[in-house]
C-alpha cells in the first residue's frame, strides 16, 4: 500500500537500501563493525500553550520512511553476520494516548507504524533508551548528525549522552545528512511521476 500519496512501502524500503549502500562505501576500512543510522523526526511547535502550528515533518526523516508524526526516531541497523547493505529498519514512536489524541489527532502507535510504513519493527519512544544503552556498550559506528539536531529534546535526552560516551571510544559518530541529501538528488520513476502530476495540476 501507499505510505504517502503515490509512494509505496517498497519505494521507501528501496530508499533505505540505497542509503545503506552508500554507508557500505563510506565504511570501507571499518571492517567488522556494526552500523546504526539514527534520524529524528521534527517536534511539534506551539503558537501558545495548547495550540500547535501545522506539523511539517523533517524532510530527511520523511524521505526514508514516510512517517508523518512528531517525536519519533528512525533507526537502520546492520545485521550481525550479514554484510551491508543488509539491515533492519525500526521506528520508535509516541505511545497511543486517547486523551492527547482528542487534542492532537490520532497516533499510529507501534503496531500502526509497522502497518503504515512497512518497517521491520516498531516500539514506543520510551524504549529507545534500551537501544542507546546497548550502543554505549558496543564497539559500533553510529551515523547521526550531531551538529544540527532536528529535535532538541530527543537529542538532549538520548543522543547527547550517547555522543559523550562515543567521544571516548575509537568509533566516533559520523554524519548522515549529506548521504541522504545525495540520494534525494536522483529521482526514482515514482518520484518523477509525482512531479509530472504536480506540474499538470499547477498548469491547470
Residue-wise pLDDT tens digits, 103-147: 778 899 999 999 999 999 999 999 999 999 999 988 889 999 998
Q: What's residue 8's pLDDT? A: 94
Residues 144, 172 contacting (CB under 8 angstroms)? no
Asked if the model's pLDDT at residue 60 lies above 80, the reply is yes
Q: What's residue 95's pLDDT? A: 95
Assigned CATH topology for domain 2-203: Creatine Amidinohydrolase; Chain A, domain 1 (3.40.350)
pLDDT-above-90 percentage for the chain: 65
Residues 17, 80 contacting (CB under 8 angstroms)? no
Q: What's residue 171's pLDDT? A: 64
Asked if the model's pLDDT at residue 28 lies above 80, the reply is yes
Length reported for the chain: 204
Region 44-69 average pLDDT:
92
Residue 173 backbone class (left: φ over 0; alpha: ψ -120 to 50; beta: rest): beta
For residue 46, the cross-strand partners are 52
For residue 36, the cross-strand partners are 77, 142
Q: What's residue 72's pLDDT? A: 98
Amino acid at each position: 500500500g501507499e505510505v504517502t500519496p503515490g509512494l509505496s512501502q517498497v519505494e521507501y524500503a528501496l530508499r533505505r537500501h540505497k542509503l545503506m549502500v552508500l554507508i557500505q562505501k563510506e565504511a570501507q576500512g571499518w571492517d567488522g563493525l556494526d552500523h546504526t543510522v539514527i534520524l529524528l523526526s521534527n517536534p511539534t511547535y506551539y503558537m501558545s500553550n495548547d495550540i500547535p502550528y501545522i506539523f511539517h515533518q523533517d524532510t530527511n526523516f520523511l524521505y526514508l520512511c514516510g512517517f508523518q508524526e512528531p517525536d519519533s526516531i528512525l533507526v537502520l541497523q546492520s545485521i550481525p553476520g550479514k554484510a551491508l547493505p543488509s539491515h533492519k529498519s525500526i521506528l520508535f514512536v509516541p505511545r497511543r494516548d486517547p486523551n492527547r489524541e482528542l487534542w492532537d489527532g490520532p497516533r499510529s502507535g507501534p503496531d500502526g507504524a509497522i502497518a503504515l510504513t512497512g518497517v521491520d519493527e516498531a516500539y514506543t519512544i520510551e524504549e529507545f533508551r534500551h537501544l542507546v544503552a546497548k550502543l554505549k556498550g558496543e564497539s559500533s559506528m553510529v551515523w547521526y548528525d550531531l551538529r544540527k539536531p532536528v529535535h532538541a529534546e530527543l537529542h538532549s535526552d538520548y543522543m547527547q549522552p550517547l555522543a559523550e560516551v562515543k567521544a571516548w571510544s575509537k568509533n566516533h559518530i559520523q554524519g548522515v545528512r549529506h548521504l541522504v541529501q545525495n540520494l534525494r538528488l536522483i529521482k526514482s520513476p515514482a518520484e518523477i511521476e509525482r512531479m509530472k502530476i504536480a506540474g499538470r495540476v499547477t498548469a491547470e
